[in-house]
Amino acid sequence: MSNWPKITKENPLGLDDPTLLVQNGVINGKKVNAEDGKTFNVEDPATGKVIGTCPEMTLSDTRRAIQVAHDTFKTFRTTTPAQRQQWLANFHRLVEDNLKDIARLIVWENGKSWTDAMAEATYAASFLSWFAGEALRSNGTTIPCSLPGTRNFTVKQPVGVCALLVPWNFPAAMIARKIGPVLATGCTAVIKVPSETPYTNLAIMELAQRAGVPDGVLNVVTCEANLQDIGKELTTNPLIKKVSFTGSTRVGKILAANASGTLKKMSLELGGNAPLIVFEDADLDTAVAGTIASKFRGSGQTCVCANRIYVHDAIYDKFASALADKVKQFKVGPGFDEGVTHGPLIHMRQADKVQEHVDDAVSKGAKILVGGKRGERTAYFPTVLADVSTECLLNGEETFGPLAALIRFKTEEEVIALANDSEVGLAGYFFSQDSDRIWRVAEALEVGMVGANTGAISQAVIPFGGIKESGYGKEGAHEGTEEYMVTKLITLGSRIKK
C-alpha cells in the first residue's frame, strides 16, 4: 500500500487536517512573521524541492518571545498540577488523533520512511502521556530537624523560562520530551526549532494550543541564517533560567560556555558513539535483530545508534553474514514509497560524511559486505563493513548514518577497553547469555544507558542521557521532570515559650 498523501494546490503536503501546516513562528499564541518579513525555504531531503517557507526571525523577535514567556510565567506557575495534567492529557489525545499527519510532516521534511515516522509520532505522544502523570508527582519532602523547635520541608518549584533547542533527527519526539516537563512543572518556554524540520514542531505546537495550553506558555522561534545570534541570545539572556539542547557535542559546548555567564540550569543531550558488543555466547538471531534495531533506526541518524560494532572472533563470520543477509533486504527511497524501509539522509554533508567513513575504513583494509555507495541525492545505501580496523575515523567520531562497521575482538577485557576508549558515552549495547557477564559488562561500560540483549532502549519512562562529552542531565522518567524544577527548603520555627 502506498503511503503517498493526496496532494492538491490548497493542501500541498496532503494532510488530513491541512491547518496543521503552520508556516509561522508563535509568540503569545499568535502566528507571527519575522519583523523584517524575511523567510527561509524548507526542503524535502528526498528531492531537494521546496515544500514551504518559514519566517527568518530576528534577535528582536526572540527577545519579544522571551519577554512574553517571562511575563506568562508569573501566572502559569500558579496553575494547579491537576489543571496542567488535564492540558497534557488533552494534548496527548490530540497528538494521538493526528498521528498520521505528524508522520507525514516528518517524512516530508526529515525524510524518514513511513514506518519510522509513524514510530516516532507514537513515541512523541508517549512523552505527553508520561508527563501528564508527572504533573501530579512534583512532591516535596519533610526532613527530621536537628535544630530544636524547627521543622524542615522542601517544595518543588518550576525553574522559570526555559530555552529549548531541538534537533532535526527526531522532529516530533524531541520537542515532546522537552515541552512535556515544561508544562508538567509550570514553566514557560521559548523553543528554537530546526530550519530543516520546523513543520512537525509547529504542528505539535498548534495541537498544544488546541489542547488549551494558555497563550504565551510555549513560544516558537524559527530561523536559519540568524541561528548563531538567536542561539546566543537564548543562552545568555538573564530572563532564561534553563536551557535544554539536543544536538552535536560541538554546539553543546558553545551553548554551555554561553550559559555559564548567568549560571543557567542546563540539560545537554549530545553526540554518542555507541559501542555494540556481540560476545561468543550471544544468541545470534537476537544479536542480529538488536544490531539492526540500534544501528539503522532513522537511517542511522539517531544519537543512540550503534557506531562501533565489536564481534567476537568465534562467531564473527556467522554474525557478519547473517547481518549482511538482513541488510540486503532493506529498500532505500523516498519515505512515502511503498516498501521503503530507509529514507534519505538529512543533508548532502551527512551523506558525504558516511562516504568519508566508508572510504577511510576500506583504505585501512575493511571489506564491503553490503552497500558502500550513495543513492539519489542525500540517500546512502545501508552498509555493512567487515574487518574494520580500530584505527579508522569512525572509532573516534559517530558516523550518524547507515554504516555498520564490524570490528573483531578476542577477549572481554580487550573489548571493554576498546568500548570505553571514547570521549563520549551516551548508549552502549551488548549481547550475551551469561548472567554474570551481563552484570559485569553493564557495570563496566562508560555510558549513560545500556541495552543488554536488546538494541531498543528508548521509552518515555527511562532516564535518557549520557555521561562524558555526551552531556549531562536526563530527559524522560521522573529525572526528566526534576530537570525543570528547583528544590526550595523551608525551615519552620515555632514561637519561643516564655
Ligand X SMILES: NC(=O)c1ccc[n+]([C@@H]2O[C@H](COP(=O)([O-])OP(=O)(O)OC[C@H]3O[C@@H](n4cnc5c(N)ncnc54)[C@H](O)[C@@H]3O)[C@@H](O)[C@H]2O)c1
Interface residue list for ligand O=CCCC(=O)O (CB under 6 A) = 169-170, 173, 302-304, 458, 464
DSSP three-state, residue 3: coil
Measured over the CA atoms of residue 288, residue 293, residue 297 and residue 300, the dihedral's sign is negative
Binding-site size, ligand X (CB under 6 A): 20
Rule CB under 6 A: is residue 199 a binding residue for ligand X? no
Phi, psi dihedrals of residue 469, rounded to the nearest 5°: -85, 15
Q: Pattern of binders to ligand X over 283-312, x per CB under 6 A? A: --------------------x---------
> Quick one: how far is CA 298 from the chain centroid?
11
| Residue 304 near which of ligand X, ligand O=CCCC(=O)O, none (CB within 5-8 Å, type-dependent) | ligand O=CCCC(=O)O
Q: How many Cα atoms are found within 13 Å in the side-chain-facing hemisphere of 246?
A: 25
Known catalytic residue: 413? no
Distance CA 200, CA 194 (A): 10
Rule CB under 6 A: is residue 425 a binding residue for ligand X? no
Asked if residues 404 and 327 have their Cβ atoms less than 8 Å apart, the reply is yes
| Residue 400 near which of ligand O=CCCC(=O)O, ligand X, none (CB within 5-8 Å, type-dependent) | ligand X
Q: Which is nearer to ligand O=CCCC(=O)O, 176 or 213 (CB)?
A: 176
Q: Which is nearer to ligand O=CCCC(=O)O, 284 or 467 (CB)?
A: 467
- In the chain the first and final C-alpha atoms are separated, in Å, by 85
DSSP three-state, residue 208: helix
| Residue 46 near which of ligand O=CCCC(=O)O, ligand X, none (CB within 5-8 Å, type-dependent) | none
| Residue 458 near which of ligand X, ligand O=CCCC(=O)O, none (CB within 5-8 Å, type-dependent) | ligand O=CCCC(=O)O
Distance CA 462, CA 472 (A): 15
- How near is the Cβ of 224 to ligand O=CCCC(=O)O at its closest, in Å? 21
CA angle 33, 34, 39 (to 5 degrees): 90
- How near is the Cβ of 269 to ligand O=CCCC(=O)O at its closest, in Å? 7
Per-residue b/e over 119-134, b at no fewer than 16 CB within 10 Å? bbbbbbbbbbbbbbbb
Active site residues: 269
Judged by the rule CB under 6 A, the positions of this chain that interact with ligand X are: 165, 167-169, 194, 227-228, 231, 246-248, 250-251, 254, 269-271, 303, 398, 400
